Amino acid sequence: MIIDCAHYKDGRRHGTGQVPLEEAAALRAEGGFVWLGLFEPDGEELAQVRQLFGLHELAVEDALTSHRRPKMASYQEDLRLVILRTAHYDDADEQVDFGEISVFFAPTFVITVRQGLASETHKARDLLAAGSSAVLWAILDEVVDDYAPVVAGLERDVDEIEATVFSGAVASTERIYSLRGEATGFYRAVHPLVAIVDTVERTTTDPKLRPYLSDVYNRLLFVEEEVADQRDLLRTVLEANMAVTSVEQTRITLRQNSSIGQLTVLATIFLPLTFLTGFFGQNFGWLVDHTASFAAFLIYGIGGLAVALALLFSWLRHRMAREDFSAAIGQATGPSNAR
């Protein structure tokens, strides 16, 4: 779909309406340049533009392909293709949404192809100066400006997770992984663009544009450094969160072990009593005949329980003594074995 098509000369737009494609291609011979803006065009529409403006078929194919990184390529001597990745941060979903702007840049025309989410390039028209180089600068300026809210949005969420983890609480590992993935994707959109802007600045033929391109380059460097720091910080936070998670799991294990130990002690104490109760509850004739008096009950019942507890205590004490002895032997022979 054609968003706008206009002819610019001496820094001003000629006419008020949209210029037909055939007329725009012919107006290039009158000086100035043509700016054609397309939004998600189909193959047939781009084929018509390619025929009228003499675009290389590989350049058109490249503009229709989705890219994970920005790029700049020269398919003809006076034609360059610059592909930019636009970004917007969805704070609710903690997700960076990307779009693309492909810019066919030549002395007599500029063709922009927007795919998906893109910067509002109509604002760039208000900043337009003489020459097609200014269009590329204006688009770069808009795209880099839109990176700043993304950096700020990521920074808020990273700071929130960092505060949670370093306060000793456990954060969602899935959330940390997700944010690090978003930061990495954004870094892929920013990092290659640094070299592209630097090349555009060095090769521009208009000295008046160099300070403005330098300003875009410096702001882009700041964004790149911020995103790189966020990635490193998220990696550190992830490692710290894993450590906090490990400590929390250790605490849970210790509490479980303590509960199991207490239950074991209770079970051990009641084990002899349970055995005696079961034994005397069998109603054997001999037991019935010999427990007719209270004294016999005390001897067989309480006495039997006392004997069982005494044997259990002796066995546990003997076992602990053997473990202490083995530990002492290990400490005594350890240094000699090491030597």
Give 15-60 pLDDT, tens digit per residue. 778 888 888 888 887 888 888 888 888 878 888 888 888 888 888 8
Q: Does 74 share its domain with 127?
A: yes
Q: Does 14 share its domain with 107?
A: yes
Report the C-alpha gap between 76 and 56 in whole angstroms: 7
| Neighbouring-strand partners of residue 37 | 4, 112
Count of C-beta atoms within a 10 Å radius of residue 331: 9
pLDDT of residue 83: 92
Q: Does 96 share its domain with 221?
A: yes
Q: Note whether residue 257 is domain-resident.
A: no
Q: Does 181 share its domain with 60?
A: yes
| Amino acid occupying residue 333 | T
Report the C-alpha gap between 162 and 219 in whole angstroms: 26
pLDDT digits (tens, 9 = 90+) for 94-127: 899 999 999 998 888 899 998 876 555 554 455 4
**Which residue among 246, 264, 292 closes a domain?**
246
**Which residue among 246, 267, 302 closes a domain?**
246
Q: Does 199 share its domain with 73?
A: yes
- pLDDT-derived band at 286 (thresholds 50, 70, 90) equals low
CATH number of the structural domain spanning residue 73: 3.30.460.20
Q: Note whether residue 251 is domain-resident.
A: no
Report the C-alpha gap between 315 and 295 in whole angstroms: 29
- What residues have CB less than 8 Å from 215, skipping those under 6 apart? 141
pLDDT of residue 322: 75
Report the C-alpha gap between 89 and 204 in whole angstroms: 32
> What would the two tokens of residue 306 be?
């006392």
- pLDDT-derived band at 132 (thresholds 50, 70, 90) equals confident
Q: Does 227 share its domain with 303?
A: no
Q: Note whether residue 270 is domain-resident.
A: no
Torsion sign (Cα): 221, 224, 225, 226? positive
Q: Does 309 share its domain with 170?
A: no
Average pLDDT, whole number, for the chain? 81
Q: Note whether residue 274 is domain-resident.
A: no
**Which residue among 246, 274, 295 closes a domain?**
246
Pick the residue with more confidence: 174 or 282?
174
Q: Note whether residue 258 is domain-resident.
A: no
Q: Does 227 share its domain with 148?
A: yes
Instruction: Give the chain's domain count.
Output: 2
Q: Report DSSP state, residue 15.
A: S
Q: Note whether residue 103 is domain-resident.
A: yes
Q: Does 94 share its domain with 35?
A: yes
Q: Please list the alpha-helical segments (H only) found in the chain.
A: 21-27, 43-53, 57-63, 122-126, 133-166, 173-203, 210-280, 285-290, 294-297, 303-338
Q: Does 314 share its domain with 184?
A: no
Residue 317 lies in domain: 282-325
Report the C-alpha gap between 67 and 1 in whole angstroms: 20
Q: Note whether residue 260 is domain-resident.
A: no
Q: Note whether residue 58 is domain-resident.
A: yes
| Amino acid occupying residue 338 | A
Q: Does 75 share its domain with 134?
A: yes
Q: Does 175 share its domain with 310?
A: no
